[in-house]
Amino acid sequence: MTGTPPTQRVQQLAAELRRLENERDTLLEVARALVTTSEIDQMLPTILEHLITILEPADSGSLLLYDQESGELFYVAAVGLDFEPLKLLRLRPAEGMAGECFISNRSSLYRTAEDVNRAMSNVQPEKRELCRRAMRGLEQPQSAVCAPLIVGDETLGVLSLYNLRKPGSFEANDLTFVEALANLIALAIHTAELTSRQEGLRALEEANRFKSEVIASLAHDMRTPLASIKGYSTALLMEGANFDPQSQREFLEIIDDECDHLTSIIHEMLESSLIEGGQLQLDLQPVILPRLVNAMVEEFKHRSRQHHILVDFPWRFPIVDADPYRIQQVLRNLLDNAIKYSAEGTLITIRGIAHPEEVEISVADQGIGISPEDLNRLFEKFFRVNLASGKYVPGTGLGLPIARAIVEMHGGRIWAESQVGQGTTLYFTLPRTGLSRGLAVEG
Ligand code: ADP
């Protein structure tokens, strides 16, 4: 710069300083956006947005990533352009400005409209049309810069910045800066990918741990009845053992009960997988719920005489369209739980209420209750409360999730209310829709 008058020199230096300050601010802004946004899908458009507002020569921009499987570049974000057509656009490496930059692995400047036109000349006509739509009718950008997104020895994609209207907007000295930005973005994408891979691994580990716990707990549940079946049958078969007929009968009854218990565990596991596979079918028919409840309670009274079970339905109760077998299954599970988790001699109330649009059935016990945190997880598969008493109560943690699936398939809801030490009430509703709507049964 010899020969430049001092005032002009000062002006040049001031302009250069402003440019550097602007670049520094842009970098800071972009870095801030990178650290404050963790979701990559949100992060990329936010960064581009920042770039366009701060970086003077650019009025629009886009980010493309390379898809290893298809071997093409696809758009993940764009600003100042219509993103919809770009979602359909995929570029081969070497195709267009971004493709050229990707294949050369170097940042490139397309200073004039001619430079841009030359680089875009190998873009297929239907893709050119998508570009035109993205630029809202404009033929091509008038000036552009592209920089590869490089991490280590891998090129993840391309950052492109454009000026759609003014040729010569970008200069050679913009390249270093755009490269720095591209490096920052590449690093952020790489970090986000690593984080999501790590999260995936963590979720997988958690799922595996959970699976092992479930298998251990099911094995425990199955081993207990098996041990008693084995014990009593061995005793009965023992040579020389001479049990009186009453003891023999008792042993056989225990074996019979434990076989039922095993069957129910296996049944619940099968049911759960049926539901998961979407294979559970309902056979809807008019159901008289008070009658169904009474029949089930009679059956329970034979099995457990230790609880008082009260059935409370109004005299006139609507008939609902439901699958009687499945609703019985829900009720059986709720009653089973009420018995399992409450002391002998306490009261269990099964109540029916008719609302205009639905019926509500509840099973209330006076048992151990459930804490608010556990109440939130009650319908999760395999969830079981750790009992404070440490007492082992058999169960799979599948009963309530199955009940929920059945009720929801009927268009109803299921929920629980509880107070520790006071008791628990489980509610479910069934809609009064279908052919039986308006019908009711008395008595
Ligand atoms: P389980 O086979 O373990 O009974 P469920 O899915 O039917 O499985 O119930 C899940 C868990 O919810 C139970 O293990 C128990 O901890 C808790 N629970 C369910 N019903 C009651 C109740 N009436 N009172 C107290 N706890 C209950």
Q: Is the CB of 384 under 6 A from ligand 1?
A: yes
Are 185 and 297 found together in one domain? no
Residues 343, 200 share a domain: no
CA–CA distance from 125 to each of 114, 120, 163, 443 (Å)?
Answer: 18, 10, 22, 78
pLDDT at 392 over 80: no
**Length, in residues, of the chain:** 443
Q: What angle do CA 24, 56, 93 make, to 5 degrees?
A: 90
The pLDDT of residue 423: 97
CATH code of the domain in which 188 resides: 3.30.450.40
Distance 52 CA to ligand 1 centre (A): 57
User: What type of residue sits at position 65?
Assistant: L
What's 422's domain CATH number? 3.30.565.10
Q: Which atom of ligand 1 is nearest to the CA of 397?
A: 8
Quick one: 56 and 198 in the same domain? Answer: yes
- Reported as a pLDDT band with limits 50, 70 and 90, residue 386 is confident
Per-residue pLDDT reduced to its tens digit, 246-296: 999 999 999 998 898 888 888 888 888 788 778 888 999 999 999 999 999
Nearest CA to ligand 1 atom 11: 384
Q: Residue 423: CB within 6 Å of ligand 1?
A: no
- Domain boundary among the residues 164, 191, 213 is at 213
134 and 51 in a single domain? The answer is yes
The preferred substitution site among 337, 368, 371, 381 for testing ligand 1, maximizing ligand atoms within 8 Å of CB, is 337
Q: How far is the CA of 227 from the centre of ligand 1 (A)?
A: 24
Smallest CA-to-CA distance from 62 within 154, 139, 138, 164 is with 164
Residue 126 lies in a domain: yes
Q: Is 385's C-beta closer than 6 angstroms to any atom of ligand 1? A: yes
d(CA 162, CA 109): 10
218 CB less than 6 Å from ligand 1? no
Q: Verify that 15 and 97 share a domain, yes or no.
A: yes
Q: Which residue has the higher pLDDT, 428 or 174?
A: 428
- pLDDT score of 3: 66
Ligand 1 atom 2: residue of nearest CA: 395
pLDDT band of 384, cuts 50, 70, 90 = confident
Q: 124 lies in which domain range?
A: 6-213
In the chain, pLDDT over 90 holds for what percent of residues?
Answer: 55
Is 233 part of any domain?
no
> Both 198 and 327 in a single domain?
no
pLDDT at residue 318 tops 80: yes
C-alpha 419 to ligand 1 mean position (Å): 14
**Span 316-337, mean pLDDT?**
94
Residue 1 has pLDDT above 60, yes or no: no
Q: Is the dihedral of CA 427, 433, 438, 440 positive or negative?
A: negative
Specify the residue with its C-alpha closest to ligand 1, atom 19.
Answer: 337
For the Cβ of 337 lying below 6 angstroms from any atom of ligand 1, the answer is yes
Q: Please count the structural domains in the chain.
A: 2
Rounded average pLDDT over 128-132: 95
Query: Would the CB of 188 count as within 6 Å of ligand 1?
Result: no
Query: Does 64 reside within a domain?
Result: yes
* Same domain? 62 vs 194: yes
Atom of ligand 1 nearest to the CA of 385: 16
Asked whether residue 261 is domain-assigned, the answer is no
Using most ligand atoms within 8 A of CB, pick from 384, 398, 427 the residue to mutate for ligand 1.
Answer: 384
Question: Does residue 140 form part of some domain?
Answer: yes
Q: Is 305 helix (H, G, I), strand (E, B) or coil?
A: coil
- pLDDT per residue over 144-178, tens digit each? 999 999 988 899 999 999 999 999 889 888 888 88
Q: Would you tell me how many other CB atoms lie within 10 Å of the CB of residue 73?
A: 23
Q: What is the model's pTM? A: 0.55
Residue 199 resides in a domain: yes
Same domain, 159 and 292: no
CA of 292 to the centre of ligand 1 (A): 23
Q: What is the pLDDT of residue 258?
A: 87
Same structural domain for residues 39 and 129?
Answer: yes
Range of lowest pLDDT (108-112, 280-284, 358-362): 280-284
For residue 333 and ligand 1, the question of a CB distance below 6 A is answered with yes
Pairing state between β 60-67 and 72-79: antiparallel
Q: Which atom of ligand 1 is nearest to the CA of 363?
A: 23
Query: H or E segment at 319?
Result: none
Q: Write out pLDDT tens, residues 38-71.
A: 667 777 888 888 778 877 889 999 999 999 999 9
Residue 197 included in any domain:
yes
Same domain, 190 and 316: no
Q: With the C-alpha atoms ordered 327, 424, 347, 396, is the resulting torsion angle positive or negative?
A: positive
In which residue are the tokens 């974000």 written? Answer: 77
> What is the distance in A from the centroid of ligand 1 to the CA of 335?
11
Backbone phi and psi for residue 117, each to the nearest 5 degrees, phi listed first = -60, -40
Whether 250 is covered by a domain: the verdict is no
Mean pLDDT, the chain, as a whole number?
A: 88
Last residue of a domain, one of 213, 240, 255: 213
Q: Give the position, in ligand 1's atom list, of the atom nearest the Cα of 342.
A: 24
Query: Listing from the earlier edge strand, what are the strands of the sheet with 143-151?
Result: 90-91, 72-79, 60-67, 154-163, 143-151, 108-110
43 close to 22: Cβ distance less than 8 angstroms = no
Q: Is the same domain home to 52 and 170? A: yes
User: For residue 435, is pLDDT > 70?
Assistant: no
At residue 29, the 3 state secondary structure works out as helix
From 179, 213, 247, give the residue that closes a domain. Answer: 213
| 309 and 202 co-located in one domain | no
